[in-house]
Amino acid sequence: MKKTGVTLVDVANKAGVSVMTASRALSGEGYASTSTKLKVQEAAKALGYAPNVLARVMKRGKTNIVGIVAPNLQDRDVTNFITAVTIELRQIGMDVLIYPAPGEAQAHEIRDAHSLLHSFCEGLIVGWLGSSDDELADLERSAKPTVLVNPVNRATSLPVVIGEGMHAKAAAALVAQRAVEVLIEAIRNAKAKN
């Protein structure tokens, strides 16, 4: 069977250390001397090593990824918002997975996105939610922490962030900052319940 990629074992062998030491040196978890870290990092770079994200998720039990469901990625308000959310999340060690839902997100697209993102993301930011009560009901039934941004006006138990004029990057940044704050609080509250 042909090997498909560089593994941590390959990095450890090239660096002349154990697999456990290579893991500690690359992850920053546990002790590894500065010289060992450098040696392992050089070996990883030389081999083109990329960590196995699924293995890391299984070990840590979390992904540090937030899903964003948004329509029309060509709309300036939407792209400014997504860029600002990405910046906010990266500042706290998280990243984004974007699920485009063209036009106003329809109920089946929200369900598809929810299925895809539910087990992979720590929480969801759903922007510009369409007018279907089914979409909202699906999100409200979920245990996944979710924040709505600029939904069609109707009552919901989910946290909502409203933003105007996000074609201006500064306005988008303020809305993104608030959406991330609200989502992180929802994630903390969900973890405290478990």
Percent of the chain with pLDDT over 90: 33
Residues 143 and 176 grouped into a single domain: yes
Residues 155 and 68 grouped into a single domain: yes
Answer whether 163's CB lies under 8 Å from 171's CB: yes
Residues 30 and 84 grouped into a single domain: no
Q: How confident is the model at residue 190 (pLDDT cuts 50, 70, 90)?
A: confident
Among 6-10, 11-15, 72-76, 78-82, where is mean pLDDT lowest? 72-76
Answer whether 22's CB lies under 8 Å from 47's CB: no
Here the CATH number for the domain that contains residue 105 is: 3.40.50.2300
Residues 113 and 43 grouped into a single domain: no
33 in a domain, yes or no? yes
Q: Looking at the predicted structure, is the pLDDT value of residue 106 above 70? A: no
Q: For position 2, what pLDDT does the model report?
A: 47
Q: Looking at the predicted structure, is the pLDDT value of residue 184 above 90? A: yes
Per-residue pLDDT, averaged over 17-32, amounts to: 90
Q: Cα separation of 152 and 128, whole Å?
A: 7
Q: Cα separation of 151 and 164, whole Å?
A: 12
Q: How many domains does the chain have?
A: 2
Residues 20 and 88 grouped into a single domain: no
Residues 41 and 73 grouped into a single domain: no
57 in a domain, yes or no? no
Q: For position 10, what pLDDT does the model report?
A: 95
Residues 18 and 70 grouped into a single domain: no
163 in a domain, yes or no? yes
Per-residue pLDDT, averaged over 76-88, amounts to: 91
Residues 98 and 168 grouped into a single domain: yes
Structural domain including 40 reads 8-51
Residues 99 and 169 grouped into a single domain: yes
Residues 34 and 119 grouped into a single domain: no
Q: How many residues does the chain have?
A: 194
Residues 90 and 17 grouped into a single domain: no
Per-residue pLDDT, averaged over 39-49, amounts to: 94
Q: Looking at the predicted structure, is the pLDDT value of residue 8 above 70? A: yes
Per-residue pLDDT, averaged over 13-32, amounts to: 91
Q: Looking at the predicted structure, is the pLDDT value of residue 108 above 60? A: yes
Q: How confident is the model at residue 58 (pLDDT cuts 50, 70, 90)?
A: low
1 in a domain, yes or no? no
**Bridge partners, 126 (sequence order):** 69, 148
Q: How confident is the model at residue 78 (pLDDT cuts 50, 70, 90)?
A: confident
2 in a domain, yes or no? no
Residue 57, classed as helix, strand or coil, is helix
Residues 31 and 86 grouped into a single domain: no
Q: Cα separation of 18 and 13, whole Å?
A: 7
